[in-house]
Structure 1
Amino acid sequence: MNTVERTTGNLIASALVCCAVVFQPTANAADANANLEPNRDQPMINPAASAQQATTITLLGTKGGPPEDPSGRRAQSSTLLTVNGVHYLIDAGDGVVPRLIKAGVPPYTVRKVFLTHRHLDHTAGLTAFMSQSWFNGWFFHDKYYMDRSTTKPFVEIYGPPDTSTLFEGSMKFLSVSARDTDATAFGTMKLPPEVFSVRTIEKPGVFFDDGTVKVTAIENTHFGIPMPGPIAKNGDFSFAYRFDTPSGSVVFTGDSGPSENITKLAEGADVLVSEVLDFKLLTTESREGVGITKAPNPEQIRFRMEQQHLSPEEVGKMAAKAHVKLVILSHVVPGDVSPKYFVEFVAAVKKYFSGPVILGQDLFQYSMVKQ
């Protein structure tokens, strides 16, 4: 076991990962808990991300919920997992394309997308991502520089039932530009169906295995607990994912409340990337919470949000029970408050979890390399 300690002012983040060496991010992002306002003009690239035998987590968007971050520091939910140089995208909230570019990853090099659920803050950037995959990837890059004889889809999109509805809407949107562009490019800019493939996750369990990465899905509680009064589930599903890689295992909670399913899925994981929400802070310190306090049913909204999301304390309990080695907080709600409150988020998790906790920020990276 290797131990790497990072001094963060009054905080020390100790990264303990079995059978792995942890490479720390560059100076701008190295202090995820204390330096919460890095220089956004400089991409925060971890040299370890280029290692061919590494697993790297890049937080592209760390804000939860549809409202924008007025400061621009946090894009909507999206995370990139890079394993031995191959990219896997988990969710595609608004801002995913510019964040990929800022991270030094051309969007067209991402060929596998995994959506946890279909809410706007996890899917609003999907169409923009697909446009890059088609125009800059499938056409300009692959058409001229790669073998086009294969019929394998350029991009595969995995998600819960009815993900195809999102995909079809995106394709319809792109088809207008594709038709016009093709007409001026002498028939060379078509948008053929083989560019993309949508794979529906029908049931919990292992649904993806490419020989390097194995992905397991489990339903979480984001849609599982109704508000008081009549409300239908409408057949919607929300998933948590576990990625088992040669360098370690990473679990993404997706949006969820307390969940025994996730606790079991995360058993012994090297990293737990968890959502986090503080409702009191949301309604007292955040601009986002104004609409909630003025709503006709604030108590119902509170009930739903507290049951279908994770407080810092609940994250700590889950992490401790699952015996994970490291917690990274993402999908932060509220994400627009003073940095001093983010330190409190970490402290609340550590009431129950004794391992290292990192409050995620956009473009923060964490890498594991198997020895």
Structure 2
Amino acid sequence: MTSDTRSQPANLLRFNGQDYLVDVGDGAAGQSGAAGVQTKALDAIFISHLHFDHTAGLAGILGLRFQTNGTDPLTIYGPPETRQLVDGLLASMEPGATANYGVAGAAPVDHRAGIRVVELRDGDSVEVDGMTVTVRENSHYSFPAGSELAERFQSLSYRFDLPGRSIVYTGDTGPSAAVEELATGADLLVVEMMDIPLTIERLLAANPGMPEPVSRAMQSHLSEHHLSATQVGEMASRADVRSVVVTHFSGWEKSEQGHMQYLQDIALAYDGPFVIADDMDAF
């Protein structure tokens, strides 16, 4: 669902003069501008999984990069099938890129130039501009092991090991021993959190007449593939992380009565510092 208080997931990681987006939800281009980063200046993008709320802003990033004559290389890291996603978006840009500024006789410009895709799988590790990036498959998908869909799709959590600091980004996940292992001892855990009963209630209210099979699948996904406040605290405690930032939050906001319960639930399981972040917060 759209929100009047929160944008879709897009996190800016700044390191050693470089700017990286971690997930690229709808509105990422505008929010990047608000953070002082032009789309053509982005050095890389990391995508956790291919759900639309984590990828919908990529079209805007690529389009504005072309329109502002971005020529520096841009690497897009993501799970299997990321290349198909990017190829499709670049194909959709063909009419606008061909017309370009509408000037007769202008030299054609290749809107695909400089864009590179690197697909990652569970356990992979890559060196990017002086930081080590490691990924683990989390539990946001639960396709049967060995099935075609399990082979084609993975939802990834990322660990960024920088000189002097380690940051783990869960993306969307349910409880996951693999994510806890990835996050062990990290300085910062950036984690999603959902008030699952409230979110189900709101989705059903916003979609009257939803077919029963669709409703059951949606409720199963939200219940099993996301983290509650208690589960956030338990994950952070078992991983022994030094601090926690909750993003991609769905629930009662800070001005609403139910919000305090989330803080209490996290604190019961985790005794370190944590915060439920607002858009544009920096850590």
TM-score by length of 2: 0.90
Counterpart pick for 1:318 among 235, 240, 250 = 235
CA-CA distance at 1:193 after TM superposition: 3.1
Deviations 1:139-190 (A, max 9, x none): xxx5xxxxxxxxxx62110111111121111111211111001652633451
Distance change in 2, residues 1:232/1:315 (3 Å): same
Given that 1:117 and 1:239 are in contact with CA atoms closer than 8 Å, whether structure 2 keeps it comes out as yes
Given that 2:28 and 2:61 are in contact with CA atoms closer than 8 Å, whether structure 1 keeps it comes out as yes
* SS of residue paired to 2:68: helix
* SS of residue paired to 2:268: coil
Whole-Å separation in 1 of the counterparts to 2:63 and 2:260: 38
CA RMSD in angstroms comes to 2.4
Find out whether 1:159 has 2:74 as its counterpart: no
For 2:11, the aligned partner's letter is T
Moved more, 84-93 or 195-204: 195-204
* SS of residue paired to 1:167: helix
Given that 1:243 and 1:250 are in contact with CA atoms closer than 8 Å, whether structure 2 keeps it comes out as yes
For 1:290, the aligned partner's letter is A
Whole-Å separation in 1 of the counterparts to 2:252 and 2:66: 32
Gaps of 5+ in 2: none
Counterpart pick for 2:135 among 202, 212, 217 = 217
Given that 1:79 and 1:91 are in contact with CA atoms closer than 8 Å, whether structure 2 keeps it comes out as yes
Find out whether 1:290 has 2:205 as its counterpart: yes
Distance change in 2, residues 1:359/1:202 (3 Å): closer
Given that 2:121 and 2:137 are in contact with CA atoms closer than 8 Å, whether structure 1 keeps it comes out as no
Whole-Å separation in 1 of the counterparts to 2:253 and 2:237: 28
CA-CA distance at 1:360 after TM superposition: 1.2
CA-CA distance at 1:131 after TM superposition: 1.2
Distance change in 2, residues 1:131/1:218 (3 Å): same
Compare relative contact order (CA 8 Å, sep 6+) and give the higher one, 1 or 2: 1
* SS of residue paired to 1:93: coil
**Could you say which residue in structure 2 is the equivalent of 1:100?**
32
CA-CA distance at 1:301 after TM superposition: 3.2
Find out whether 1:128 has 2:128 as its counterpart: no
Deviations 1:58-95 (A, max 9, x none): xxxxxxxxx211x2x21111101101221111111101
Find out whether 1:76 has 2:8 as its counterpart: yes
Find out whether 1:352 has 2:269 as its counterpart: yes
Distance change in 2, residues 1:348/1:189 (3 Å): farther
Counterpart pick for 1:241 among 158, 183, 189 = 158
**Could you say which residue in structure 2 is the equivalent of 1:109?**
41
* SS of residue paired to 2:258: helix
CA-CA distance at 1:240 after TM superposition: 0.2
**Could you say which residue in structure 2 is the equivalent of 1:260?**
177
Given that 2:251 and 2:259 are in contact with CA atoms closer than 8 Å, whether structure 1 keeps it comes out as no
Whole-Å separation in 2 of the counterparts to 1:185 and 1:111: 32
CA-CA distance at 1:205 after TM superposition: 2.5
Whole-Å separation in 2 of the counterparts to 1:321 and 1:364: 26
TM-score by length of 1: 0.70
Whole-Å separation in 1 of the counterparts to 2:208 and 2:173: 22
**What percentage of aligned pairs have identical amino acids?**
29
Gaps of 5+ in 1: 1-66, 143-152, 367-371
Find out whether 1:204 has 2:136 as its counterpart: no
Distance change in 2, residues 1:250/1:339 (3 Å): farther
Task: State the aligned residue count.
Answer: 279
Whole-Å separation in 1 of the counterparts to 2:10 and 2:104: 33
Whole-Å separation in 2 of the counterparts to 1:240 and 1:156: 18
